[in-house]
Amino acid sequence: MHELDFISPLNGEIIPLEEVKDPVFSQKMLGEGFAVIPQDGNVVSPVDGKITALYPTGHAIGILSSDGYEFLIHIGINTFKLSGQGFKIHISNGQQVKQHDLLIQFNKNELESQGIDLTTSVLFTNKEDFKLLRQHEYVTTEDKHLFQIGDSNVLL
């Protein structure tokens, strides 16, 4: 049995992808996963791994975990249209990261005052067997055991 040491990348309310107000995420076109309605504007690395994609706007990050899981953290809905306004990037593409490393900060109050939905999707792009274990609960960047994933349904 193999466990992935994974934490929530944000503090906030965890929700199923089906509740995200964007069909790309709610219909799981980019993969399985979950979303967090953020309480603050800090996004940390949920795993040890490598940054494989970093959008210059700061709204999305791809990470390959040291265990071989590929995932995408997508901050907000249609935030690519902001051209990076309100986002501060703390990492670079190809960089090795450790769990809890600060990846991105965003100005939550400023963006929400513009009507931006900051619901952040966390998508596993190379796994389909996924079960969310916690829903509509407050989670922090210390929380684990959020879901089951993989052929063996390992608790993560």
Which residues are the active-site residues? 74
Which three-class secondary structure state does DSSP give residue 18?
helix
Q: Which of 156, 85, 150 is nearest to 114 (CA)?
A: 85
Place of tokens 């684990």: 144
- Would you say 133 and 145 are in contact if contact means Cβ atoms under 8 Å apart? yes
Q: Which of 118, 83, 154, 145 is nearest to 13 (CA)?
A: 118
